[in-house]
Structure 1
Amino acid sequence: MNLANRITLARIFLVPIIMFFLLVNLDFPPLEFAQFEITYSQIIATLIFIIAASTDGLDGYIARKRKIVTNLGKLLDPLADKLLVAAVLISLVDMGKLEAWIAIVIISREFAVTGLRQVALLDGKVVAASKWGKWKTASQITAIIALLLNNFPFTFIGFPFDLVASWIAVIITVYSGIDYFLKNKSVIHFSTNKQ
């Protein structure tokens, strides 16, 4: 197994560790600054999430640079990304920090685009990542980090950055999903004619 695939697998293995720190109540007193409060578990989970999210582009870059792109990597990389985001979104809903409908919209879009990619692969085509897909990932990661950190540091100025970032992530996520389907509608049309 090459280095790029090991990095991708490491991202997958970090998912349950992040969820553990988010969902298991450790008996440490929270950190408090003025009106701001955060648990040590949230801080640890956030740091691990940032590390995991930062490997998203790294594995692909290494695979392309070293010319070690594999079918396993093509399968694992998007799977790792979706597992990471979906697991943390579901955890945030469970913690009462995120509305369930936001998580459902984002996760549904991920499943839909994954399905589109699978249909394209069956026809021997590849649905390439778009700039909107990259913006979608960046907006989701930004919103998740803001939610994990209880809106730090914006809570001190009374600005709901976490809420704004969540809405931006939803809008870009939906738009990028529509964009993928519109640009690749021939894949869907071709596959339905084939049956």
Structure 2
Amino acid sequence: MKLTIPNILTFIRVLLIPLFVAVIYFPDPWMHASDSGLLAAVIFIVAAITDAFDGFLARKLNQSTAFGAFLDPVADKLMVMAALIVLVDLQRISSVLALIIIGREITISALREWMAQIGKSANIAVSTLGKVKTSAQMVAIPFLLYNQVLFNFIPCHLIGTLCLVMAALLTLISMFYYLRVAVKVGF
């Protein structure tokens, strides 16, 4: 494994996952719930920013590696899945929303693996719809982790919930898109 700047950023993102999970569960004597929610949201945002930069830097610095291509999407999925499970546990989102998003990620990961095995991985590349879905998730989750009224007028729970519902809808649409592509190439 070649240690590159993009790979280091991906490793940092993986290490931030247990940190934001732990922070959200800090007991009140350690940190007030609104403060731990804010800190967890900030950690999640930092992790999401590393996701944006690692791919950009890999291309810009010509430091793309097979290991980075593998670990980057795994880190993204772990980050989102961990956050969704925490949010269900805290009763901030419906388990149905989490199951839709997590189920789609598992299904599409398996589909991509199968497509790679039959030499058709180019047919199932990330679509614009998938990118919009990911963006909606990355906006929703910090709002839901914080879960307070921000600046006395921004309803974080409402905004986060609306963005996550949009992400779940886009998740279903993109999953059907990917499955339709798979059927066309020989499912």
Q: TM-score range by the shorter chain?
A: 0.7 to 0.9
Partner of 1:128: 125
Contact kept, 8 Å, 1:139 with 1:172, in 2: the verdict is no
Paired residues for 1:38-117 under 5 Å: 39-117=34-112
TM-score, normalised with respect to structure 1: 0.85
One-letter identity of the residue aligned with 1:128? A
Distance 1:183 1:63, change over 3 A: same
Distance 1:185 1:79 in 2: 25
Distance 1:110 1:11 in 2: 18
Partner SS state of residue 92, structure 2? coil
Superposition deviation, residue 24 in structure 1: 3.1
Distance 2:110 2:9 in 1: 24
Identity across aligned pairs (percent)? 35
Partner of 1:8: 10
Contact kept, 8 Å, 1:142 with 1:165, in 2: the verdict is yes
Superposition deviation, residue 52 in structure 1: 0.2
Distance 2:185 2:19 in 1: 38
1:137 to 134, 138, 141: 134
Query: Does 1:177 pair with 2:175?
Result: yes
Distance 1:125 1:63, change over 3 A: farther
TM-score, normalised with respect to structure 2: 0.88
- Stretches of structure 2 that go unaligned for 5 or more consecutive residues are none
Superposition deviation, residue 186 in structure 1: 3.8
Distance 2:82 2:7 in 1: 21
